[in-house]
Amino acid sequence: MTEEILARLPHRPPFLFVDSICGRGENAIHTAVTFAPGWPVFSGHYPGQPIVPGVILCEAIFQSGALLIGELTAEAPDGSLPGLPVVARIFAAKFKRQVLPGDRLDIEIKLMERLASAWLMKGSGRVLGKVAVQVEFSCTFKS
């Protein structure tokens, strides 16, 4: 996890699900997270057959979206976000395959449109190049 991520997001372990920023493009960002095999959630989801909860996959995408917004907005001198990033709406979520302990989730976020204070985005998470999750959502900042 980089200092840049910690500076841009208010999330902290154990609820920070972005390990690295891998690339940037115009209105896009590529991030990644690896789910450690010893993560305590795996002992209950599910015993003997652990998988990363879908809600956590979505949260990793949402956090990556907040990083993208931070890149596209005028930042405060200290590098912080212009407010608390919050998900305003989830339009669609599709789960294509399981994400297992030790898997690295590569996340791609694209800004589709900005309407006033709402940022409409599309995100996907891939494991070894195969789509595991896709979600469309909107974010805004709470002051």
Question: Which positions are annotated as active-site residues?
Answer: 45
Query: In 3D, which of 86, 78, 79 has the Cα closest to residue 141?
Result: 86
Quick one: which H or E segment has residue 87? strand 84-95
Tell me the three state secondary structure of residue 125. strand
Residue with token string 């879908």 = 54
Q: How far lies 136's CA from each of 5, 8, 49, 62, in Å?
A: 22, 22, 28, 10
Query: In 3D, which of 84, 121, 109 has the Cα closest to residue 18?
Result: 109
Cα gap 43→48, rounded to integer Å? 8
